[in-house]
Structure 1
């Protein structure tokens, strides 16, 4: 195939490659022009997973298409718009807008060449124009991972910083290779290791463990600002021998800016600002940047199919007025130290689609159901924008004169109930869309109008919405349902740390969550990142399971009194519920389990303290009700019992050991339970 400049063939029938911009370990980046959009410039990032064989490549591309859908929810003027995922003769490209302007690295190099650096006024302007962007990204659960002068462009059009090269794209490639079983998912064909972050700009916790969070982005932004203000690289700003920062002696700054920068680059994540909005407020600006303030507020998540069909451009989002030094967006939706690593498990398959960011046999529907389920997946997705008057599920349809008073009252009652349950109506609408189109596959590719012919379908849509609210109210706590529509892969990692501290693995957490989810949505399996509205319920159930473990409701530690060698646990399991038992044992002890319960109604698992490739578990979701053997490791073992019945199941679990060693004081390190 002809590459840049030869013009012999257009990628996807309309992209002409002009030149190569960069080379990457998992694919190259090109500048191209879109011949269907008046030769508009765009950037094509090639996805090259480097896996052997066509079948593996096709699978890799399918997985990448699915997981890259997270990028389409970003809707901010300081982030290049992601246009589509383009397949062309076995190659896969991520297409996004081209931003014309120098990187901040290039700007700094020009200053250095003449012995200059960024002034304090420029540094403050840089921060007040970038912090609201981070607040927006973090409010929808996205962490950039790789902020540095090389990944920020000063846009020629308005001089504003634009954030490019999201580190999450590299992580997606690594995730895909991991799911395909590639032995070294971070290693490219030439032996180079893909680094998720730029050394010197990422904090220690990200370099050492891969943990990322809003706090890691704030650190990287602070380091970027310091490099611009001092004109020196990160390694010159810290004295390793004395273990302290030396930048305060290298640049004269106001007390306010110095304090903000010191907190941004604090070593301990807990010492940094809880959010970008709070860092912005700490600058105590007399004249906050109006556009930046508007975009510091969380935006409704609007997702496109991975390859969206032609559609009219959506209207620009409304400007939101924000008072100076007020609250800049809601509290973080996740723990400040949450990580964004590949979740140990995937979320439900056999689910369909609709909007919403983050569980699916609708994955194909999510990817467009053959390319065209919804033109623009947003909270208004029940109704089209054609010649009919639209009736928007966000509440504005309650005054639509084309609807009967009874229908308007019915729709308003649904919205009022969502508010009472602390559930975002936009999410309820997206969930209802997904289930409505699953039940009406002949309607895929069309939307409902406010005309009389669609009244029965609108009534069906409203009935599904009511059922969804019933399900949410009956099965989720207020805390869990208040975050529906905003769960994301970082939650998996936060929960893993929480349950590990209880000597429980994420496998056990997922066993309990899967049991609850399968009871509510029979037949939906689990695979991939959180993708459809139904998957959000899986995450909400997981949140409640973590809380139940921490409260002791679903977690019990078994300890043997002196002179005893067995213990019996009894109880009743409601449909889809489960219990976890942990016990601290040593290698070579003999363990015997006996579960008295109908085998067709329960599943039994026995997890190791440290699972290995050769021995990932002793039992996993097994129908058998007994196990006996010599233990291969020392540490906390987990026994998980879950119900698959449709009615209450009484059970009795007998646990017996030989050579009992009670050592509650010298417990193993919780991080050992990492899976």
Structure 2
């Protein structure tokens, strides 16, 4: 019998119930997991099964190429019949995997690769991702419920503030999780941060295949999500959006707060949350109460439309979330007026049962109406006016909000002239204690800075940093007007002049310079998301930015760690990255290589200016043989990256060629950057040979 392994990789005798090294319970000893100990592709050794469903099974494994590091294998084996159905499922799975591997966020398990293996003559398909050590919110809740406890408001507010940026990130890429619940949020053991796991896209594939190639009803086959957590439109029609994820997050928070399941709060007739059952059961602050009210709105249009809206509501004094108002009442539908909580749109009620009309004697019309008829007519007019007024009021409010947003959002015209006028500038006039020469020198520096559109406070911090590096004895101190410090002030001005010259050479856009001093991790995450949508990695983005930045600031080369990013010079590097993102988005620095049917080779050529970079992407398949040759000047660097980044063929290299078999499918990246002092020409030749045709492309190694 094969030895058993715990999640830490410790080997134990067969039939062991607990790990002899760390005491972990060995679940496979009870489950009889026959896959335990199996090594796939000679690299991933299965430890035990973590779960299974309609799409396949999930295993805990060890990556033998990473010294036994724990990882997760998701096997894709949908319950579909027939060769066509299986082929369709595999195509969809590869497409979904291509989306998932682009997710680069510290609170999402990294998807490493798509793994094909052949075992006993049959192909198997796996998705490999990082293993997250920690406990799910469900496990924590269950442990607390056994003690009569649950999550408190402070804890769920912290959870919301830490998980909402993750949702904002994936939604910005067009990715919907589809299955948010306490089971799919892990509180990471390492740092206590929530990690979002088990994206529903892989599960959705099996449902999609069932609806497309099998006899299942589309409405049933495409349904995905947990009852009580997924909103009505997702469960009934398979419709998902950012608001459906936010609904599921609201349901998750409510379960954690109350310790009760969604079925205890949902009206079985309307399938909507009953406010009196859950909000009255626990004391909540007005902020959290209002936010949950809005997250759990039954109609998606009445919910917040982005995670960022919810985050702002949690941090603002007035926890109202802007929403898109429902359409105005139909002229033939009677409206009822109701008072809604702050920030919640009143939802139209069902029209009241009309009062039966009474027959009236013939004669004068006014008399025929009678006092009841007059009352009904008056009420109808009042209600109609109220409905119209409510609708018109919402339209007016919405127009005002849009107008304010337009006024608050900078446009291209705002940055066309970056010059700062003396009236807008914060720099004080040079001291009268200075000599005329020094005063003139400082005035010249001030004018150059204002022409560049650089704020005074950032300018001082930037020059101080460089000055203190050259004169460490002055670190932390400010220069006075004392004549004895005139030479130090002259040195400070000299350094300032050099820095302004370098910034001029960097040729940053007005938009990038306007934000100097305010760049942070949020900006870097947003840039990564934007280039990922272009099928470009952040590694390629930074290659292009580095070429431009380090050409002007060569002494800073190698200084890109977290400490550097927090410094003023790091702000200039980030401004360079911001401009590089735009160059990629505009395709100025990016070109897609497409191999048409029958094509084996492609050739790209052009000219790079000093410090300029160009990226190329090509969608290629695993097992293809690729030959790459670059012809260019000696002062150029060349990089080739695989889709997941797990394989780096060349990186900032002086080598000009590569030949070999491709390890994975997806978009490969080729980056050429110039560190020459003059324009250089380049020619990039790529040839791709397909492997022999086969029904299923797999790793030919046979596993026992």
TM-score, scaled to structure 2: 0.43
Larger radius of gyration: 2
Which has more helix, going by share of residues?
2
